[in-house]
Amino acid sequence: MLVLGLETSCDETAAAVVADGRRVLSSVVATQFELHAQYGGVVPELAARRHLENLLPVISGALDQAGVRLADLDGVAVTQGPGLIGALVIGMAAAKSLAWALGLPLAGVHHLQAHIAAILLTETPPEFPLVALVVSGGHTNLYEVRSLMDMRLLGRTRDDAAGEAFDKVAKLMGLGYPGGVVLEGLARAGDPAAFPLPRPRIPEEPLTFSFSGLKTAVATLVKKEPALLHEMQSRADLAASFQEAVVESLTVRCLEALRRTGCRRLLVCGGVAANGRLRQALGVLSQAEGFRLYLPPLSLCTDNAAMVAALGWHHLRAGRTLSLDADVFARG
């Protein structure tokens, strides 16, 4: 079964063709980094307009790359939410139009669950159950995954997502947008113990994340000691200290989730899962605690449509289809 996947939840316009939920025949992504960099963050209205411009060429590119025609498709899958409403509407409208015109079934998938499904596109996908951490610019959620159709939310952030905190701190440090990758690079030359930044914890909610206080601590430090940002080593030390605080917050809760569920498999996915220090720390932790660690390749960490098509295949196979009057959702 060939499924065309469409992804427009934020600022990536993506299309992919996946066979039988496992083989990626094509994956095309058009980014909007340059458009939003001048504003220091994603502007929802501009993102939606750029999706409108990019979507048809991206779909055409995905079909060409896969060597298939629209007539060869067996189904269409699209991100239904969560995400930016205007951006989601563009992808949903295109998916509905294709499904109606071609007489194909349509699947709407949850963006975070699609990130989890991305691991199925690797050579050695894990068995279920497992604990999954989805960590990105917009979300930081922990799930117990019994199957792709059965996921239980264990914990989430009560304020900023981890990726959002990376970008906001990078902006405070004058590193530009998107700043997470730049901050990670700067941190490699820094001392992660140089600045004693907080690790926010909520004792009564041990699986709940919070990064707003950490971001505020960096802002307060920079305000009190502005000279920090004018000395290269101090900048690197601050970046490393912030990154280490985020990594520790993530790994501690992953370990707690494994202990509470009894699972011995951990999947970490989403854009922040591409962070090298996080991947290193998780590798060390998995060796020390004896659990299996699964990390998607970097190309499957950031938003893409292959993961949408993969999860969509499972929805279509289970008969979970959308009607043409289905709507998108911003949160969930």
What would the pLDDT profile of 53-92 be if each residue is shown by its tens digit?
999 999 999 999 999 999 999 999 999 999 999 999 999 9
Give 279-322 pLDDT, tens digit per residue: 999 999 999 999 999 999 999 999 999 999 999 999 999 999 99
β-strands 75-81, 106-110 pairing? parallel
Q: What percent of the chain has pLDDT over 90?
A: 86
Contacts (Cβ under 8 Å, ≥6 apart) of 132: 116, 142, 143, 145, 151, 266, 267, 268, 269
Tokens, residue 86: 């205007």
Give 258-279 pLDDT, tens digit per residue: 999 999 999 999 999 999 999 9
Q: Which of 101-105, 114-118, 227-231 has the lowest mean pLDDT?
A: 227-231
pLDDT value at residue 40: 75
- pTM value is 0.92
The second-level CATH assignment, the architecture, of 129-295 is: 2-Layer Sandwich (3.30)
CATH topology of 2-117+303-317 equal to that of 129-295?
yes
Burial class (CB in 10 A: 0-12, 13-18, 19+), 323: exposed
Q: Where are the beta strands (DSSP E) in 103-228?
A: 106-110, 130-135, 140-147, 150-156
**Burial code of 195-217, b = ≥16 C-beta within 10 A, e = fewer?**
bebeebeeeeeebbbbbeebbeb
Give 164-177 pLDDT, tens digit per residue: 999 999 999 999 87
**CA gap 69, 26 in Å, rounded:** 13
- Assign 36 a pLDDT band (cuts: 50, 70, 90): confident
According to DSSP, residue 20 is labeled T
Res. 38: pLDDT tops 90: no
pLDDT value at residue 44: 87
CATH for 2-117+303-317, among 3.90.79.10, 3.30.420.40, 3.40.710.10, 3.40.50.720?
A: 3.30.420.40
SS3 242: helix
Average pLDDT over residues 181-187: 95
**CA gap 271, 171 in Å, rounded:** 18
**CA gap 293, 133 in Å, rounded:** 11
| Domain ranges (residues) in the chain | 2-117+303-317, 129-295
pLDDT value at residue 37: 75
